[in-house]
C-alpha cells in the first residue's frame, strides 16, 4: 500500500458534481445527488464486493483442493469455520455435493441438510426452470441485511477420480455468503450527510458550507478508498500464499509481503525447525535480495529469537520508537515463524501495522499447510524426504535443466554391511543407526540440497547447481563423517562405513539414465571394497 492516499478519482469527481449542484439549484440538486449516489455507489461497491468474493472463492477453492487431495475432511471443515471467524463480512461458507446435500459448512448444524434449488427461496432466483442452467453465479439475496452470494463449481479433476470416479463433470458447489451491511451503512452515512448539508445551506453561507461539506466527503472518500486498497492487497497476498506448499518458496513470498506492507528497510524471517532449532533469512533494502543468516549471540535478533523459542514471546512486540516490530506467527499453539522488521528512517505507519496483523493469520495458515505437507513427504524415522517425493523432485530438477540449463548432481549411497547390524543387534539398533545416519546426511549438505531415504539403508541426495567436482567433495564429506561416527555410543559402539555413487546432469541425457548411472557407480564402489566414492564416467553419444 502506497504511503500516499489511495487514488479514487471517480469518487472525487462525484464530490465535485455534488458541490456544483448545491451551488446551483439546492433542493433539486440534493434529490438528484442522493439518487445518483444510492444507485451509482451501491452498484459500484456491490460489484466490487462481487469481485472480491469471487477472488476469495478462488483462493478457498485452491486451499480446499489441496486438502481434498490429502483427504483431510476435518481440515476442510476447520478451514470453512476459520474463514467465517476471521472475516467479519463472511456470514457463512458451505459445500453442496451433486445431490444438493450440505457436506461441509461453517455452521455445523447445517451439515447433512438437503436443499431443493427449485423450492428454496434463495435458490429459485437463479434456478427458475428444471433442466436449464442458472443465469448467473453470483446474486444478492433479499434478506434483512442483504447478502451477496457467490457460487463456485468444484470440477471433477484427475486428482479426484479415486474418490469421485471419472464420469461426473462436477463434484459439487462452493457457496460463500458475504454480508453487504457495512457497504450499505457506508452509503447511508453519505446520504445522511447530504440531507443535513441541504438543511444547513438555508441558514449558512454557501461558500463556508461548501468548504465544510467538502472536508466531510473527503473523509468518507478516503475511508472507502483506504478500505478498498487494503482489501485488494489482502486478497492479492492471500492468493499468492495459496499457490505453493514449498517452504522455501513460501519463505520468499512472506518476506516480500511484509516488506511491501510495512515499507521496511530490513526483514528477518526465522522458521522453526524443532523445539529449539531454527533457520533464519534476511532481506535488506540495500542488498535487495534474500540471504541465509546465521544469528550469533552478539546479533540484535538473538535475544528476541531466544524469547520466541522459549515461548515467552507470543504476541506482536513494537519498540518504543516504533522502528522495530517482532511478530510471532503461530497456529493452534504451533510455533511456525518469527518476523522481525526494522525501519531505518522514520517510523512504521500504524495503518500498515494493522494490515500486517490482519495478513499474519493468513500467513500462519499457509505456513501450517506447508508444515503438514512437509510431514507428509518426510520419512518418520530418518527425517529425510520419502522416495515418492524423490521422484517429483528429480523430475522437477531435470525439467529446470531442460528449460534453464540448471545442472545438478545425484548421490546414491548405501550403508556397508548394514544387514549384519540387524542380524547381530536387532532391528531396534538398526533403526537407531538409520536415524543417526539421517542426521549426518542433513548436517553434511547445504540448506537447499535435498536428502531422501530411497529404501532400507539406501539414501539419495540431489545437489542443485553442482558439477561432478562439487558432488565428489560433498560425497567425500558424507563418507568421512559416516566413517568417523560412532553409532549407538555407550551401548554397542558401532563403527560403520558407507559407499557412494555419483552421477551428474547434463552428463546423463534422461532422469532414468541419471539414476542408473548413480546406482551403477554405487555398485562399483561396493565391488571395489566399499567405504569409497565412485563418480560415474559413462559417456553417451548424442545425435
Q: 401-431 b/e with 16+ CB inside 10 Å = b?
A: beeeeebbbbbbbbbbebeebbeebeeebbe
Same-domain pairing of 413 and 504: yes
Same-domain pairing of 334 and 444: no
CATH number at residue 21: 3.30.450.20
Same-domain pairing of 232 and 269: no
Whether residue 54 lies inside any domain: the answer is yes
Same-domain pairing of 352 and 333: yes
pLDDT at site 260: 80
- Catalytic site residue from 55, 230, 301, 457: 457
* Strand (E) or helix (H) holding 440: helix 427-444
Same-domain pairing of 323 and 278: yes
Which phi and psi (to 5°) does residue 410 adopt? -125, 130
Same-domain pairing of 421 and 521: yes
Which residues of the chain have a pLDDT value below 70?
A: 1-35, 37-39, 41-42, 45-46, 49, 65-66, 68-70, 116-145, 159, 161, 164, 187, 190-191, 194-238, 274-275, 541-543
Same-domain pairing of 251 and 217: no
pLDDT at site 22: 62
Q: Residue 377 is placed in which grid cell?
A: 513427504
Same-domain pairing of 304 and 173: no
Output the 3-class SS for 108-147. Answer: HHHCCCECCCCCCCCCCCCCCCCCCCCCCCEEEECCCCCE
Whether residue 81 lies inside any domain: the answer is yes
Q: What is the pLDDT of residues 195-236, one digit of tens each?
A: 666 566 555 555 666 665 666 666 666 666 666 666 666 666
Same-domain pairing of 1 and 146: yes
Q: Residue 224 is placed in which grid cell?
A: 472507502
pLDDT at site 431: 94
Per-residue DSSP letter, 376: H
Question: What's the structural domain count of the chain?
Answer: 3
Same-domain pairing of 33 and 57: yes
Q: Residue 472 is placed in which grid cell?
A: 565428489
Per-residue DSSP letter, 281: E
Q: Are 310 and 300 in contact (CB under 8 A)?
A: no
pLDDT at site 309: 85
- Annotation marks residue 457 as catalytic: yes
The rounded distance, in Å, linking the Cα atoms of 397 and 514 is 12
* Residue numbers of the domain that contains 488: 387-535
Per-residue DSSP letter, 397: H
Same-domain pairing of 409 and 529: yes
Whether residue 382 lies inside any domain: the answer is no
The rounded distance, in Å, linking the Cα atoms of 438 and 478 is 11
The rounded distance, in Å, linking the Cα atoms of 66 and 4 is 38
Same-domain pairing of 237 and 262: no
CATH number at residue 528: 3.30.70.270
Using DSSP's 3-state secondary structure scheme, residue 332 falls into coil
- How many helices (H) does the chain have, and how many strands (E)? 15, 16
pTM: 0.50
Whether residue 301 lies inside any domain: the answer is yes
Angle subtended at Cα 477 by Cα 476 and Cα 482, rounded to the nearest 5 degrees: 95
Amino acid at each position: 500500500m502506497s504511503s500516499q492516499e489511495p487514488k479514487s478519482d471517480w469518487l472525487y469527481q462525484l464530490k465535485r458534481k455534488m458541490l456544483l449542484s448545491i451551488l446551483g439549484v439546492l433542493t433539486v440538486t440534493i434529490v438528484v445527488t442522493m439518487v445518483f449516489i444510492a444507485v451509482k455507489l451501491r452498484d459500484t461497491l456491490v460489484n466490487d464486493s462481487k469481485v472480491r468474493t469471487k477472488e476469495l472463492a478462488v483462493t478457498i477453492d485452491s486451499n480446499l483442493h489441496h486438502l481434498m487431495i490429502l483427504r483431510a475432511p476435518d481440515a476442510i471443515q476447520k478451514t470453512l469455520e476459520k474463514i467465517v471467524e476471521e472475516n467479519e463480512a463472511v456470514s457463512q461458507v458451505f459445500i453442496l455435493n451433486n445431490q444438493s446435500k450440505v457436506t461441509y459448512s461453517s455452521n455445523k448444524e447445517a451439515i447433512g441438510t438437503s436443499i431443493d434449488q427449485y423450492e428454496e427461496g434463495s435458490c429459485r432466483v437463479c434456478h427458475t426452470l428444471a433442466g436449464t442452467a442458472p443465469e448467473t453465479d453470483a446474486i444478492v439475496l433479499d434478506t434483512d441485511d442483504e447478502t451477496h452470494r457467490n457460487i463456485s463449481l468444484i470440477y471433477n479433476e484427475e486428482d479426484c477420480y479415486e474418490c469421485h470416479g471419472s464420469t461426473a463433470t462436477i463434484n459439487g458447489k462452493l457457496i460463500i455468503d458475504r454480508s453487504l451491511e457495512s457497504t450499505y451503512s457506508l452509503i447511508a452515512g453519505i446520504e445522511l450527510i447530504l440531507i443535513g448539508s441541504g438543511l444547513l445551506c438555508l441558514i449558512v453561507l454557501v461558500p463556508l458550507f461548501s468548504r465544510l461539506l467538502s472536508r466531510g466527503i473527503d473523509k468518507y472518500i478516503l475511508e472507502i478508498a483506504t478500505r478498498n486498497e487494503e482489501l485488494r492487497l489482502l486478497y492479492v497476498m492471500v492468493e499468492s500464499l495459496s499457490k505453493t506448499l514449498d517452504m522455501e518458496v513460501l519463505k520468499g513470498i512472506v518476506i516480500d509481503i511484509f516488506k511491501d506492507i510495512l515499507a521496511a528497510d530490513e526483514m528477518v524471517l526465522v522458521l522453526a525447525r524443532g523445539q529449539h532449532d531454527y533457520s533464519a533469512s534476511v532481506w535488506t533494502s540495500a542488498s535487495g535480495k534474500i540471504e541465509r543468516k546465521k544469528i550469533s549471540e552478539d546479533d540484535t535478533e538473538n535475544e528476541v529469537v531466544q524469547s520466541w523459542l522459549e515461548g515467552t514471546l507470543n504476541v506482536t512486540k513494537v519498540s518504543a520508537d516504533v522502528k522495530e516490530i517482532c511478530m510471532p506467527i503461530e497456529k493452534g499453539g504451533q510455533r511456525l515463524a518469527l518476523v522481525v522488521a526494522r525501519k531505518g528512517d522514520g517510523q512504521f505507519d500504524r495503518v500498515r501495522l494493522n494490515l500486517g496483523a490482519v495478513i499474519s493469520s493468513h500467513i500462519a495458515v499457509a505456513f501450517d499447510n506447508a508444515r503438514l505437507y512437509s510431514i507428509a513427504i518426510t520419512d518418520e524415522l530418518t527425517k529425510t524426504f520419502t522416495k515418492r517425493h524423490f521422484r517429483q523432485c528429480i523430475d522437477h530438477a531435470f525439467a529446470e535443466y531442460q528449460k534453464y540449463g540448471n545442472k545438478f548432481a545425484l548421490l546414491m549411497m548405501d550403508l556397508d554391511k548394514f544387514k549384519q547390524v540387524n542380524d547381530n543387534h536387532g532391528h531396534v539398533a538398526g533403526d537407531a543407526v538409520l536415524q543417526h545416519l539421517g542426521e549426518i546426511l542433513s548436517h553434511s549438505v547445504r540448506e537447499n540440497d535435498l536428502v531422501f531415504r530411497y529404501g532400507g539403508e539406501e539414501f539419495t541426495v540431489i545437489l542443485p547447481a553442482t558439477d561432478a567436482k562439487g558432488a565428489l567433495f560433498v560425497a567425500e564429506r558424507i563418507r568421512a563423517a559416516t566413517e568417523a561416527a560412532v553409532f549407538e555410543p555407550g551401548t554397542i559402539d558401532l563403527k560403520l562405513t558407507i559407499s557412494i555413487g555419483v552421477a551428474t546432469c547434463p552428463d546423463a541425457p534422461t532422469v532414468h539414465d541419471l539414476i542408473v548411472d548413480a546406482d551403477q557407480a554405487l555398485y562399483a564402489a561396493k565391488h571395489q571394497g566399499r567405504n569409497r566414492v565412485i563418480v560415474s564416467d559413462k559417456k553417451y553419444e548424442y545425435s
